[in-house]
Amino acid sequence: MISEIKIKSLISDLQNFYSLCIHSILKIFKKPLYLDDIIEQMEYAGSSSVFIVSLVCLFVGMALSLQLSAELSGLGLKMYTGKIVGIAVIREIGPLVTALVFIGRVGAGQAAEIGSMILGHQIDTLRVYGIDPIKKVVIPRVFASVVMLPCLTIIGDLVCLLGSYYIAVFVSNQSGSFFWSSIIRELTFENVFSGSIKPFIFGYLISCISCFYGLTTRGGAKGLRTSTTKAVVTSIVIVIAMDFVLTRVLLYLLGFTI
């Protein structure tokens, strides 16, 4: 009996989540647009996240270059550090690391903010005044995430490569010009496209999940803690799983052999 109730609850939650995802797309260009809310959310999701994204990507790039230099030097292949770093960062590490930081910085904030609005009956007040909460609350956050996460990913990729360059040149004594020329050679359409399409999908999923759990907040402060935790954990799992799926699909579509 208990398992049956849980299954029905899960199916209901999935239906509500899919409904939120669909309406966040269908209503995005319908009036009113709430441009002030969109700009405010873009500032919160974008410029306010640049520092933490840059800091994390810097150390990830430095650690990656350090590990590769140590392993490749034993094989006499240390000059390929730039090539491997470029492929790894552009295709995989940059988009994924930036998305995970985005979840902790922006996704958790969106879930907590909307959850507080639920507990404070602000969402109910919007409905009383005939304002659609999806238009007013959800869409500005989804739009901001979809636009700003790719921008943050570009910054994260650049900082990650700079950190790798510092370790490769000033610690491993490699050629700086050869390091950058190796990376530039890897800026092919296939590699850039693979790393560029992921942030748009990640941003959409993160924001939809965060908004959904925020809107389902119940039970005071404890419920707010629970919904925020669920939003972060679910976003991390979904993003990592989706990263694998997208990588596999893109490798097939772009003609890479495995």
CA distance 34 to 48: 21
What pLDDT score was predicted for residue 2?
56
Lowest-confidence range among 7-16, 133-142, 150-159, 199-208?
7-16
User: How would residue 171 be classed by pLDDT, with cut points 50, 70 and 90?
Assistant: confident
User: How would residue 258 be classed by pLDDT, with cut points 50, 70 and 90?
Assistant: low
Q: What is the pTM of this model?
A: 0.92
Mean of pLDDT values over 1-21: 81
CA distance 131 to 140: 14
112 in any annotated domain: yes
14 in any annotated domain: no
1 in any annotated domain: no
41 in any annotated domain: yes
220 in any annotated domain: yes
CA distance 65 to 164: 5
Mean of pLDDT values over 68-92: 87
Contacts of 36 (CB under 8 A, 6+ apart): none
Contacts of 28 (CB under 8 A, 6+ apart): 139, 142, 143
Long-range contacts of 32-35 (CB under 8 A, 24+ apart): 32/135, 34/135, 34/136, 34/139, 34/140
247 in any annotated domain: yes
Could you list the residue range(s) of the whole structural domain that residue 241 is in?
34-253
Contacts of 216 (CB under 8 A, 6+ apart): 13, 16, 227
20 in any annotated domain: no
66, amino acid identity: L
Residue from 69, 68, 58 nearest 97 by CA: 58
User: How would residue 197 be classed by pLDDT, with cut points 50, 70 and 90?
Assistant: very high
What pLDDT score was predicted for residue 116?
94
29 in any annotated domain: no
* Tens-place pLDDT, residues 117-129: 999 989 989 989 8
What pLDDT score was predicted for residue 58?
96
Q: 231-241 b/e with 16+ CB inside 10 Å = b?
A: bbebbbebbee
Mean of pLDDT values over 224-247: 95
User: How would residue 236 be classed by pLDDT, with cut points 50, 70 and 90?
Assistant: very high
CA distance 210 to 231: 5
Instruction: Give how many domains the chain has, as a whole number.
Output: 1
* Tens-place pLDDT, residues 21-74: 998 888 888 888 889 999 999 999 998 899 999 999 999 999 999 998 888 887
